[in-house]
Structure 1
Amino acid sequence: MGADPPVSSSAFSSPVLPGSGWPGDAATAGTPIAADGEDVMAIAADAVTITDLAAAISVCRACPRLVAWREEVAITKRAAFADQAYWGRPVPGFGDPRAHLLIVGLAPAANGANRTGRMFTGDRSGDWLYAALHRLGAANQPASVDAGDGLRLSGVRITAPVHCAPPANSPTGAERHTCAPWLDRELALLPDVRAIVALGGIGWDATLSALARNGFAIPRPKPKFGHGARVDVANPGGRVLAVFGCYHVSQQNTFTGRLTEPMLDDVLGRALAI
């Protein structure tokens, strides 16, 4: 795949084209575009840097249902954001390229990251996550409203196993499988990571599966997800990672009190301490 000519950005119908100047957009008109699962595997494997990977993720078109949905939302928009431009593309990971903590969510929100172009930015879930990281000294500001608001993370990177906003916040198994090589490669390109916080059961399963594909030994039976759960895994080279489970920062959890600020701070704080 790396030897093939790039696909032109004219293939896009989403409002924001590669190279259009959106804050944080690493893609150009020459960035290769994945059209199916085989392309995803090949292009992900070819990524040499985190920036290369982010660019390739941001132009992926491998899952027709997700492409149609994210672009439809970007055109129709939520009434509260009717005057705003929407990103409408896959959302790559965000944060410190030398991160020692990786946070793995689920997928972009249709009117959150799908609008802003940055993970956990512009919605209530992000309000909770970035406020917690700010309290713990890992973010320079407690809130994030758009991709150009100056937010910086120190020692932390945030990603997801699915990079497109899915209908009803529910990607299919096939879509999760197609997107998996992006997470696999992101883990491989983050050699300084020592701890991972997986938000929710899907994030937990995706993280352990990606670690297994990267050569880490996962205990059997597979450790169960739970808030505050921890499992340490190692690869043949002796690299050890601590994986923590945390309830997702969704409104379903934060509004009901299932996840409180002290609970979130506790898990993130233990992971940061590593």
Structure 2
Amino acid sequence: MQIDLTGKRALVTGSTEGIGYAIARQLSRAGADVVLNGRSEEKTTKAAKRLESEGARGSVKPATADLSTAEGCAALVAQIPQVDILINNAGIFQPIDFFDADDEVWDRHWQVNVMSAVRLSRAYLPGMQKLNWGRVIFLASESGFNIPVEMIHYGVSKTADIAVARGLAKRMAGTNVTVNSVLPGPTLSEGVEAMLADEQAKTGLPLEEIAAAFVKQHRGSSIIQRASSVEEVANLVTYLVSPFASATTGASVRVDGGVIDTL
């Protein structure tokens, strides 16, 4: 199976590092013209130059915008008026007890994790519908099903992403536009590395071993018993936006290492 996305323009939000960057790299290697997005112009431009040096087949364009606000989303759409593939990856997480999570914590997670995806989908889906081809992916999480007690606010935002993706798939019924959510489990991204940095400094163990111990302790139902790599998540996303996945829509597709313990 050779995935060829030549001639397709893909926007990956929150893509200067981590899962977002890995997705952008895979799409670019498949021939897509990729738009990288981040809040910092310097960081976004640097990521675009890095991507160009790592096997990009299509064009690479940086687009700086803060997607935590309606104004920031509108600014991004003004820069990039039309895309064929939208990857709603921008997201934040913050472990904090429910009773310490005030309205500001809840609102920040809602605006970044949910409303940025809602606003961009609302902006780009009509163009995809007009062309009768498009792909939208919501990067959700296994936490959308297994609400983590240490960050209920995050889990709720990811449940919402899954629901919005399902609803939009129905809204696009009868077209060649698909909408799906992807559910990673614990993934060794820069954000997770930062969360585990203190433990690594304390123990001196390799980061992969610390991440595996974290998975076994906090996600005991994991079948692979380790953290996924960002490339493993990107591989699934690349398939879902390809022509080969034309009959997959409205699905919440797992790349969680078997954490979600249901058939």
**TM-score range with shorter-chain normalisation?**
0.3 to 0.5
Q: Which has the higher strand share?
A: 2
Q: Which has the higher helix share?
A: 2
TM-score by length of 2: 0.36
TM-score by length of 1: 0.34
